[in-house]
Amino acid sequence: MNLFRFVFNPVFLKELQQRMRSWQTQAAIVAVAVASCTLVLLRWPTDQRVDLVSQAASLIFRPLVFTLAMSVMMLVPAFPATSLVSERSRGTLALLLNSPCTPLQIYLAKLLSNMTIALLIVSTSLPAIGACFAMGGISIRDHIVPLVLVLLAMCAQYSAIGLWISARASSTEVSLRWTYAMVVVMAILSVGPLVFTGQLANWKAQVALALSTISPVSSLLNITGSEAAASTIGLSTSWPQYLYVSLGIAAFFGLLTVWQIHPIRLERSRPAGKVLKNYRGNLLRRLLFLVDPDKQKASIPRWMNPILVKEFRTRKFGRLHWLARIVAFCMIASLALTILAATGTVSWGVGQIAVALVLMQLSLLLLIGPSLGANLIAAEVESGGWTLLRASPISPLRIMSGKLISVLLTMLLVLFATLPGYVVMSYIQPELSGQVYNVVLSLLIAVGLIVSVSACVSSFTRSTAIATLTSYAILLVLFAGTLLIWLARDKPFGPDLVERVLWLNPVAVALGEMETPGFEQYQLAPMGWYVAGLISLFCLVLLAFRIRRLTKPD
């Protein structure tokens, strides 16, 4: 009884009630239930010969598994990433620390409440999983139980990471950005080194294999019976190994978070400012300030948009040194992939390396774009800066253009930094020049889609955290959700439906132009470019309408 009271304390009940009353939780439960049941209903047999469709059940089980995994990646990290940092911003964290609950009890309460909601979300897919079991082809011991354990391990791992980042972050949007970046790195990008090293017998391959154990991709492929796809890139992690590794990672981050939950360690000191010891310089500054206050800073030319300058000067990653670091990282990564193709370290061709380069660019754009675009309007409204913008003589069109251009320039720098890799590939294999041009065009359209969608979402919300989370959810549905439909191509989705769904994804158009296996049979260009352009234009029209409404007096 004492252990029960220790774990399920009042903090746990408060967190659980708060989550259950939230409309976001109810929407997540309904969305997962509808998506999982729809996948099964599309393939449910119309006659009584259920035993003859066991192969179809195993095929529909694969997209169902990856749909649940993507749902866990999208929905589970959101609440723990904002839990502790929102308590600090509201001033209730000090009350928790001065309550009879210990830091371990506070951590367990927040972790278990999120795990309970995650278990409830996953349980909504049990009818769909049961339908697959009734159709035949899967078993409880080899498929259903391992799948549930892997999903729960993912929930524990991502919840622990979110709480650790939330304890160290300074704001909710920063915590969300770093949490989802960590989730993408651990779930997807951790497989990248193994893809490059292959199955070579050296220490590099061993390190790459060890890194791949923190990703659930191999265990999910083994559960769905896709060992051939896993063996092509050297994935050999079984689901029990992933359970041990993920629970170990969750315990490690849990210990770090419990150690961090302390009044002294959670204290954020304010910057002391600069101490000027040059008295002559201080006297000169005072004299210049009396004559012309603008002499203390670089003036903004009349032809330049002041909102654009303001965004670059106030944004954390907008200063020149951060932009130079991002560009240098992208250039090194793209050239490294090209060197792999040229030296023959792996048994891929130049086309496959180009596909890896496209996926790397997509990961960077999805990590950077929504976090920048979601802050454009919501951050101004939340901080009170929008009142100053509304009182200024700057027109709504100038405000919108300045904010959009500030994000577009940063995204284009990230995209153009990888162009040297494409240039080298075109030099190695000249027949790829036309395909490379279409790929770059598709990625440019993807940049416009990401910026327009995230900026439009930002104009309809008053919280930066909600805007960031909503932008990530919508863009993941557009870019990753459409690939789930492609994964279930032919069974149950026909080629016409898959082709029309892939029109929503500019990256799928880029993969189709590179003749990636599985995409070469669809005619995605140029219709995919037109559809993405229309979506971007629709979002920009909504954004202009919202900015015009927000700039009017109350």
The answer to whether 444 and 532 are in contact (CB under 8 A) is no
Q: What is the pLDDT of residues 472-498, one digit of tens each?
A: 888 888 887 787 777 767 666 777 888
pLDDT digit string (tens) for the chain, length 554 residues: 465 565 667 888 888 888 888 777 888 888 888 888 877 776 666 555 544 445 556 667 777 888 888 888 888 888 888 888 888 877 788 788 888 888 888 888 889 888 888 888 888 888 888 887 777 777 888 888 888 899 999 999 999 999 999 888 877 777 887 888 888 888 877 776 766 665 556 666 677 777 888 888 888 888 877 655 556 556 677 888 889 999 999 999 999 998 888 777 666 665 555 555 554 555 555 554 444 444 445 566 677 778 887 777 776 655 556 666 666 776 776 666 566 555 544 555 555 666 667 777 777 778 778 878 888 888 888 777 888 888 888 888 888 888 888 888 888 877 777 677 667 666 766 776 777 788 888 888 988 999 999 999 988 887 777 788 788 888 888 887 787 777 767 666 777 888 888 888 888 888 888 777 778 788 888 898 999 999 999 999 999 898 888 887 76
The answer to whether 326 and 371 are in contact (CB under 8 A) is no
Nearest to 76 by CA among 183, 212, 1, 185: 183
Q: Which residue has the tokens 């193709």?
A: 341
Instruction: Give the distance between the most distant pair of CA atoms in the chain.
Output: 94
- pLDDT at position 7, please? 60
- Residue 267 CB neighbour total at 10 angstroms: 8
- pLDDT at position 157, please? 93
Region at 90 (left for phi over 0; alpha for psi -120 to 50; beta for the rest): alpha
3-state secondary structure of 493: strand
The answer to whether 263 and 97 are in contact (CB under 8 A) is yes
The answer to whether 357 and 421 are in contact (CB under 8 A) is yes
The answer to whether 197 and 204 are in contact (CB under 8 A) is yes
Residues 168, 262: Cα–Cα separation, whole Å: 11
Q: What length does the chain have?
A: 554
- Residue 370 CB neighbour total at 10 angstroms: 30
Cα 527 to Cα 246, 422, 499: the distances in Å are: 42, 24, 10
3-state secondary structure of 1: coil
Nearest to 187 by CA among 510, 503, 476, 454: 476
Q: Which residue has the tokens 């799928």?
A: 508
- pLDDT at position 122, please? 86
Single-letter amino acid, residue 524? L
The answer to whether 486 and 512 are in contact (CB under 8 A) is no
Q: What is the pLDDT of residues 90-117, one digit of tens each?
A: 778 878 888 888 888 888 888 988 888 8
Residues 50, 40: Cα–Cα separation, whole Å: 13
Q: Which residue has the tokens 């993941």?
A: 476
Question: By CB neighbour count within 10 A (0-12 exposed, 13-18 middle, 19+ buried), where does 30 fall?
Answer: exposed
- pLDDT at position 270, please? 58
Question: By CB neighbour count within 10 A (0-12 exposed, 13-18 middle, 19+ buried), where does 247 fall?
Answer: middle
Residues 92, 27: Cα–Cα separation, whole Å: 27
Residues 212, 345: Cα–Cα separation, whole Å: 19
Instruction: Return phi, psi of residue 365, to 5°.
Output: -65, -40
Structure tokens at 283: 């006297």
Residues 6+ apart with CB under 8 A from 34: none
- What is the domain partition of the chain in residue ranges? 2-189, 310-551
Long-range CB contacts (within 8 A, 24+) of 12-17: 12/108, 12/109, 12/112, 12/113, 15/83, 15/109, 15/110, 15/113, 15/114, 16/113, 16/116, 16/117
- Residue 281 CB neighbour total at 10 angstroms: 10
3-state secondary structure of 489: strand
Instruction: Return phi, psi of residue 311, to 5°.
Output: -65, -45
Start-to-end CA span in the chain (Å): 56
Residues 353, 359: Cα–Cα separation, whole Å: 10
The answer to whether 70 and 480 are in contact (CB under 8 A) is yes
Q: Which residue has the tokens 């140029």?
A: 526
The strand pairing partners of 489, in sequence order, are 493
Q: Quick check: bond before 526 cis, omega within 30? A: yes
- pLDDT at position 539, please? 92
